[in-house]
Structure 1
């Protein structure tokens, strides 16, 4: 369900077109309901307003009762809330996360939803694991926290399953530069792996590796990073890692 359509993303580009589709979300949902469509999974990403959060929350209640719900609370990075959002936006996102089975915030988004001051890394395990537990207390049974690092050499993610109490970490080498869309790629791989029946720790390992290889491939090619990373070339390996095989 598209919440908006843009000609390009907004990072590094000017003159892009933007069409808000908030008014279409409820009619789309009503049509789905008339067809008695049921979903195995619901995965949310960037939501541009409180109104969209409220609509998506209702969609989860109406057509997602039997679905596994994933929320990527896209709203902040590098210690700052995106400028398009009001200061109280994390409150609304926190409410949506309470309905999720798994959430995938970065360190900034985690701090904002918890009402805590953002801390730059490197981090300690005690600090990271405390955040994971406090995020899970909001409602989701599983949490994957990105942007975790304990030193300057590696960066990755931490995963927590509140049912088993398991904490796991997945890291890769750092690659110089900033690369658009990698958060979406990471979260999408995690969701794909979980929906395919893989355990949380394995899903996080695969997602970190896939994202790292996409960034490394792009860095080595020297292409314009505004156009995203080359993830397509890594799909055959991704399928093999997921145990799907590849022709």
Structure 2
């Protein structure tokens, strides 16, 4: 069982998609099953996520964020980590930068998932200057977790389809580290000569070390898997798992969620079945002191 005397506490700053498992509806249960107390700031509320659905409702909660922070400061709250995902506008990026400055303490881990694109394209609701603004937000982060598309966008380079050489991936993660984070977790990596696998390159700036972890590719597009991976990775790190093991746990949990969904042949617009693996994940993440 979990033997930490004090629960870790995370602030998760994401949107709420009421249907379609992603963002807060993924982050909250994964962090909670890992015995992590999770506070939330919703950035917006949507009736469904935007992948594959039309006619969805959208309510922007930008104007509510600073009043929440004001109230929390009066309570002298402390967070072990602040974890950001989808941020819907440049104004929200500016507000989250303010949130970091007001709520971060010396030992607060800042984890930024720079959600803004996939498959080589910036999401259509973002302006052309959004990636450069996101890159500036990443200077406040300890950890960033871009996919390949987001990496190219923040580096202001044309998207190049893989497979990639290790030397090229090394150049990408090192340039991302120059934005400011101590740790870069690059997802969607697949290498020349190993095209049937896809995974992660993790670069630690202090040690100048890169860790690779891979799994077999699964055909298809599965919504919310980036949020599942990021939330599981953060949960594992906060439960004192070594970096390489934390990445392996996050990959395995994400892949197994996809496999369950693929086997059941359910509509992928509604996300993947991560719920069936939560009990096992909880037990796994409660074993480290």
- Give TM-score, length-normalised by structure 2: 0.82
Partner of 1:85: 126
Partner of 2:165: 124
State which of 203, 211, 224 in structure 2 corresponds to 1:160: 203
Secondary structure at 2:237's aligned position in 1? helix
4+ runs deviating over 4 angstroms: none
Q: Across the two proteins, how many residue pairs are aligned to each other?
A: 245
Secondary structure at 1:170's aligned position in 2? strand
* 1: CA distance, partners of 2:157 / 2:219: 29
* 2: CA distance, partners of 1:77 / 1:15: 21
Secondary structure at 1:3's aligned position in 2? strand
* 2: CA distance, partners of 1:14 / 1:115: 30
Partner of 1:68: 109
Partner of 2:261: 218
Partner of 2:35: none
> Do 2:239 and 2:286's aligned partners in 1 also have CA atoms closer than 8 Å?
no
RMSD value over aligned CA atoms? 1.2
Task: Give 1:166 shift.
Answer: 2.0
> Do 2:140 and 2:181's aligned partners in 1 also have CA atoms closer than 8 Å?
yes
> Do 1:41 and 1:70's aligned partners in 2 also have CA atoms closer than 8 Å?
yes
* 1: CA distance, partners of 2:133 / 2:59: 22
- Listed as ranges, the gaps of 5+ residues in structure 1 are none
> Do 1:175 and 1:219's aligned partners in 2 also have CA atoms closer than 8 Å?
no
Tell me whether 1:26 sits opposite 2:66 in the alignment: yes
* 2: CA distance, partners of 1:18 / 1:194: 33
* 1: CA distance, partners of 2:119 / 2:156: 16
State which of 216, 230, 234 in structure 2 corresponds to 1:191: 234
- Give TM-score, length-normalised by structure 1: 0.96
Distance 1:240 1:170, change over 3 A: farther
Pairwise mapping of residues 39-118 of structure 1 onto structure 2 (< 5 A)? Answer: 39-66=79-106, 67-118=108-159
Question: RCO greater where, 1 or 2, for CA within 8 Å and sep 6 or more?
Answer: 2
